[in-house]
Amino acid sequence: MSHYQYQGENLLCEDLEIESITNEIETPFYCYSLRSLRDNINKYKENLKNTNSKICFALKANSNLEIVKIIAEEGLGADVVSIGELQKALRAGISAKNIVFSGVGKTESEIEFAIKNNCFQINAESISEIKKINEISGNLNIKQNIGIRINPDVRPDTHSKITTGSIENKFGVPIKDVKELFIQSNLFENINFKGLAFHIGSQIMKLEPFEEACKITNQLIKEVESNGFTIKTVDVGGGIGIDENEKFQFKKYFNLINSYFAKKDRTIIFEPGRTIIGNTSILVSKILYIKETEDKIFVVIDAGMNDFMRPALYGATHEILPILQCDTKKNKVIEFVGPICETSDKFLTLDSFQKINEGDFIAISNTGAYGSSMSSNYNIRPNIAEILVNKNKFLAIRKRQNLEELISE
Ligand SMILES: Cc1ncc(COP(=O)(O)O)c(C=O)c1O
């Protein structure tokens, strides 16, 4: 994680000791680094500066209003999957002309809202949805741009619950139906068939699955264009993974995408989520209890799977860091667990860890993506606070939810 490092025994976010934040903010809380967010955005901007492209941040990865406002100020667009995300993107200041509306189950009112608000493109995922968009566009007398999300049937090497581009997944239109759809496009007189879209999954660390999806899409483009159509947009989705060593080959990825799709009068749409926000944040939590059995040590922390779901949901691994580092090590299996009444409420199991005590603070790493946005009130636990660090200061960007509000519903 960039911009998180130790100075002596202290874990710092940018120039601020995390311990100092724990004096003011009740744990658990999400802590973000502004510098890290700007670095991630700049990586995309730098690599794409000579490409006709749109960078549309996937709001599902993180929809904190202040975070989305920063993303808007940086000039990025948004990829949204619900009317809520669409409204949040607009409220944060993202122009509708930079918003792509994705998702397999859009309702009529969501489609209507997107069309009325001049959403740049709706990515349709089925023939029924295309008919529905056509009908609503007709009623509104607005010709809507659509992309067709294809299912390229590729199987990236990632967790089975986060693959989205293979034929057994619910997403996208099978390749064999796409050509036919273009041929019949004159039947849908209220929509413009602008382009094609794919998104093959998440947390993908290798280039090969992207290359396979590009190859298949490119072949399809050739076939569609040979029938007299023009593909004006190619949406390559998101899906790039993050890890501690930052080993994903970004440069090669952008070269790959450009080599397949860059063309005059064509826009390439990127929908990154995790690579923009994932490594900008840690989840800071306090150790409530330490329970030692014959085989292992359970460390019960005050963050639960409702606050950060990825380990319980996908078996995702997120490193745990002490807020105050020390040299003494305890060599026994140690399991960091939450307070929720579910066995799956655990974060990490290690063979050893530094010596720790009840009341100490720890940080779960890389929690910016699919952390706060996936959190819930399970066990009637309030949503936790979120803070943003800028150099040696921090700002609360979401207050801890009021318990009274929660119990009165
Ligand atoms: C259509 C679409 N685009 C973009 C994303 C963002 O993916 P990631 O956060 O892996 O970059 C997702 C994530 O599920 C998605 O479904």
158-204 pLDDT tens trace: 667 666 666 777 888 999 899 999 999 999 999 999 999 999 999 99
Could you tell me the pLDDT band of residue 236, with boundaries at 50, 70 and 90?
very high
360 CA to centre of ligand 1 in angstroms: 35
CB distance 58 to ligand 1 below 6 Å: yes
3-state helix, strand and coil shares in percent for the chain, rounded to the nearest 5: 30, 25, 40
List C-alpha distances in Å: 51 to 194, 255, 262, 354.
18, 11, 7, 48
**What's the rounded mean pLDDT across residues 293-316?**
96
235 lines ligand 1 (CB under 6 A): no
Ligand 1 atom closest to 61 (CA): 9
- The minimum-distance atom of ligand 1 relative to the CA of 81 is 1
Dist CA 239 CA 209 (whole Å)? 10
Q: Domain extents for the chain?
A: 4-32+278-407, 34-275
Please give the C-alpha separations between residue 250 and each of 34, 51, 156, 204, in angstroms, as whole numbers.
Answer: 21, 15, 17, 12
Query: What is the distance between the alpha carbons of residues 3 and 15, in angstroms, rounded to a whole number?
Result: 8
8 Å CB contact between 369 and 274 = yes
- The pLDDT assigned to 163 comes to 67
197 in contact with ligand 1, CB cutoff 6 A = no
Mutate to test the pocket of ligand 1, among 43, 71, 79, 200 (most ligand atoms within 8 A of CB): 79
pLDDT at 335 over 80: yes
Based on DSSP, count helices (H) and strands (E) in the chain, helices before strands.
Answer: 12, 23
Position 211 pLDDT exceeds 90: yes
CA of 49 to the centre of ligand 1 (A): 22
- Going by alpha carbons, the residue nearest to atom 16 of ligand 1 is 199
The Cβ of residue 271 has, within 10 Å, a number of other Cβ atoms equal to 26
Contact 122, 146 (CB under 8 A): yes
Q: What are phi and psi of 28, to 5 degrees?
A: -75, 155
Residue 17 has pLDDT above 90, yes or no: yes
The amino acid that residue 84 corresponds to is G
* Whole-number Å distance between alpha carbons of 194 and 10: 52
Give the pLDDT confidence of 18-45 residue by residue, as tens digits: 999 999 999 999 999 999 999 999 999 9
Measured in angstroms, how far is the CA atom of residue 113 from the centroid of ligand 1? 22
Look up 326 and say whether it is catalytic: no
Quote the CA–CA distance of 376 and 401 in Å, as a whole number.
Answer: 11
Report whether pLDDT(113) > 70.
yes
> CA triplet 203, 209, 215: central angle to 5 degrees?
140
- pLDDT above 90 as % of the chain: 91
Q: What is the mean pLDDT of residues 332-344?
A: 97
Distance 179 CA to ligand 1 centre (A): 25
For 125-159, the DSSP string reads: -SHHHHHHHHHHHHHHT-PEEEEEEEE-----SS-
Answer whether 76 contacts ligand 1 (Cβ < 6 A).
Answer: no
- Tell me if 271 CB under 6 Å of ligand 1: yes
Closest protein CA for atom 9 of ligand 1: 273
Question: Pick from 370, 112, 378: which is nearest to 242 by CA?
Answer: 370
Quote the pLDDT of residue 56.
98
What pLDDT is attached to residue 73? Answer: 98
- Strand bridging mode 53-58 / 353-354: unpaired
The chain-wide mean pLDDT, for the chain, equals 95
Give residue 164's pLDDT: 67
Closest CA to 239 of 260, 221, 213, 261: 213
CA of 240 from ligand 1 middle (Å) equals 9
119: closest CA among 68, 180, 77, 155?
A: 77
Contact 134, 118 (CB under 8 A): no
CATH number, domain 34-275, options 3.10.28.10, 3.20.20.10, 3.30.56.10, 3.30.300.210:
3.20.20.10
Written as six digits, the tokens of 42 are 């700049």
Q: Which pLDDT belongs to residue 243?
A: 87
Please tell me the distance from the alpha carbon of residue 171 to that of residue 168, in angstroms, as a whole number: 9
pLDDT reading at 206 higher than 70: yes
Residue 238 beta carbon below 6 angstroms from any ligand 1 atom = yes
Ligand 1 nearest-atom number relative to CA 197: 1
Residue 274 CA to ligand 1 center (angstroms) comes to 8
CB 32 within 8 A of CB 21: no
CB of 40 shorter than 6 A to ligand 1: no
* DSSP code for 245: T
CATH superfamily for domain 4-32+278-407: Lyase, Ornithine Decarboxylase; Chain A, domain 1 (2.40.37.10)
Q: 102 in ligand 1 pocket by Cβ < 6 Å?
A: yes
* Beta strand 281-292 pairing with 361-364: antiparallel
Task: Using the mean position of ligand 1's atoms as its centre, give its distance from the Cα of residue 238 in Å.
Answer: 5
What is the pLDDT, as a whole number, of residue 19? 98
Question: Does residue 250 carry a pLDDT above 70?
Answer: yes
pLDDT tens per residue across span 174-184: 998 999 999 99
Contact indicator for 270, 48 with CB cutoff of 8 Å: yes
CB neighbour list of residue 61: distance below 8 Å, 6 or more residues apart? 238, 273, 274, 276, 277, 278, 368, 369, 370, 373
Ligand 1 site, residue 237, Cβ cutoff 6 A: yes
Confidence of residue 223 (pLDDT cuts 50, 70, 90): very high
110 lines ligand 1 (CB under 6 A): no
Nearest-atom index, ligand 1, CA of 278: 9
**Would you state the structure tokens that stand for residue 374, as one six-digit string?**
């996936």
